Structure formats: C-alpha cells, structure tokens
Amino acid sequence: MRDRQSLADLYNRHAARLYAIALRITNDRDAAADALEAAFVALSRNDDTGDPAVYLIQAVRDCALARQTRPASATVVPLEASPRNIVEDAWYRGMNVNDLATRYGIPETKARGLLCEGMAQLRMQFAAGTK
C-alpha cells in the first residue's frame, strides 16, 4: 500500500488531467469522477505498478470505458479515416481494429495501418515535446 502523502501528491499533480480523460470517454461527470476514484483506489492497493502516472492513465481509461454512458455507435462519425481519428477512437472509445474498420467503412488492414501510422505520429510528437 502506498503512503497517504505519496497518493496525495500524485492526486494533486494528475487528477485534473485524468478527470478530463475520463470525462471525454464517459461524457458524464459522475461516471468520470467514479473512474478517477477507482483508478486511485486501485493504485493504493497495488505497489508493483511501475511508474504510477502511467498506471493511473491506463487505469482511469479502463475504468472510464467500463462506465461509458454513450454507445460508440451514437457518436458522430468523423468525415475521414485519418490516423488521428483512428487513434482517438481506439483510445477514447476502446475500439479495436474490427470496430474501427466497421465505423469508417474501410478494410481491417487499412484500419490497422492507419492506427500504426497515427501511433507513430504520436510517438514523434511526444519525442519532440509538441501536441
């Protein structure tokens, strides 16, 4: 179990950003707050998480997806199957390659390629320190 001060420090540093991720996924303030709380509870119970910030990002995403209030089919479909749109749908909606291919009306191989391309672009942006 992590000590209270460490958890408080992590919460102060990351809660607003994690809540924003959960809110974007769930589109519901209560569900986002629940996901944030569940992620921190999970972290407090597990000492072997590696980097706690990375653990929290994944945990809040998973918790938010479990509490998602809007079905993926009810969202507006972007006009194009761009690498960015594919990555956003995979991350924020928990869509797999088959789901992405169906959503965009493209073959799975193209969806997989766009997902790989989007992730490569994201890695380059992180390495360069840009958004």
pTM (2 d.p.): 0.65
Q: C-alpha angle 33/37/41, rounded to 5°?
A: 170
- Examine the fold and report which residue of 32, 66, 100 is the final residue of a domain before the chain moves on: 66
- Examine the fold and report which residue of 35, 66, 97 is the final residue of a domain before the chain moves on: 66
- Cβ neighbours of 16 (radius 10 Å): 10
87 with 61, same domain? Answer: no
Residue by residue, pLDDT tens for the chain (131 residues) are 457 888 889 899 999 999 999 998 888 899 999 999 999 888 888 777 678 888 898 899 888 888 876 555 555 555 688 999 999 888 888 888 998 989 888 999 999 999 999 888 888 887 887 65
16 with 51, same domain? Answer: yes
Considering only CA atoms, which of 44, 25, 41, 38 is closest in space to residue 89? Answer: 25
Place of tokens 């303030």: 29
With a CB cutoff of 8 Å and minimum separation 6, the contacts of 6 are: none
